[in-house]
Amino acid sequence: MALKQAKVITVTSVKGGTGKTTFTLSLVGILANKNLKTIIVDMDLHSGVIAPTLNLKETKDIYTLVNDYMNHGLKELEEYITKYNNYIDVLPAPKDPRSVGKISSYYIENILKKLKYMYDVILIDTNHIIDDINLITFDNSDEILYVITSDLMDLRNMKTMIAIYNDMNLDNYHIVLNEAISKQSLDLYTINSFLGRNIDYILSNNSYIKNINKLIMNGKIATLEKGYQKETELFTKIIDNILK
CB atoms within 10 A of CB 59: 11
Q: Which does 176 bind (CB under 5 to 8 A by kind): ligand ATP, Mg ion, none?
A: none
Q: How many residues bind ligand ATP (CB under 6 A)?
A: 19
User: Three-state SS across 20-67?
Assistant: HHHHHHHHHHHHHHCCCCEEEEECCCCCCCHHHHCCCCCCCCHHHHHH
By CB under 6 A, the residues from 72 to 91 that bind ligand ATP are none
Residue 185's SS3 state is coil
| Minimum CB distance to ligand ATP smaller for 19 or for 94 | 19
* Nearest distance, CB of residue 77 and ligand ATP, angstroms: 25
> What is the rounded distance in angstroms from the CA atom of residue 37 to the CA atom of residue 35?
6
With CB under 5 A as the contact rule, the residue among 7, 11, 20, 69 that binds Mg ion is 20
Cα 112 from chain centre:
14
> What is the rounded distance in angstroms from the CA atom of residue 222 to the CA atom of residue 209?
7
Nearest to 43 by CA among 164, 120, 130: 130
By CB under 6 A, the residues from 177 to 216 that bind ligand ATP are 178, 180-181, 203, 207-209, 212
> What is the rounded distance in angstroms from the CA atom of residue 36 to the CA atom of residue 115?
14
Could you say whether residue 21 binds Mg ion (CB under 5 A)? yes
Could you say whether residue 137 binds ligand ATP (CB under 6 A)? no
Could you say whether residue 140 binds ligand ATP (CB under 6 A)? no
Could you say whether residue 44 binds ligand ATP (CB under 6 A)? yes
Strand 143-148: give its sheet, edge to edge. Answer: 82-83, 88-91, 38-42, 121-125, 7-12, 143-148, 173-178, 201-203
- Helix crossing, 105-115 with 132-139: angle to 10°? 30
Q: Which does 161 bind (CB under 5 to 8 A by kind): Mg ion, ligand ATP, none?
A: none
Could you say whether residue 20 binds ligand ATP (CB under 6 A)? yes
* Nearest distance, CB of residue 140 and ligand ATP, angstroms: 20
> What is the rounded distance in angstroms from the CA atom of residue 208 to the CA atom of residue 210?
6
* Nearest distance, CB of residue 71 and Mg ion, angstroms: 30
Could you say whether residue 17 binds ligand ATP (CB under 6 A)? yes
Calculate ∠ Cα 100-9-231, nearest 5°.
110
* Nearest distance, CB of residue 151 and ligand ATP, angstroms: 12
| Minimum CB distance to ligand ATP smaller for 4 or for 226 | 226
Nearest to 178 by CA among 137, 217, 211, 208: 208
| Minimum CB distance to ligand ATP smaller for 79 or for 217 | 217
| Minimum CB distance to ligand ATP smaller for 69 or for 216 | 216
Interface positions with Mg ion (CB under 5 A): 20-21
Interface positions with ligand ATP (CB under 6 A): 13, 16-22, 44, 127-128, 178, 180-181, 203, 207-209, 212
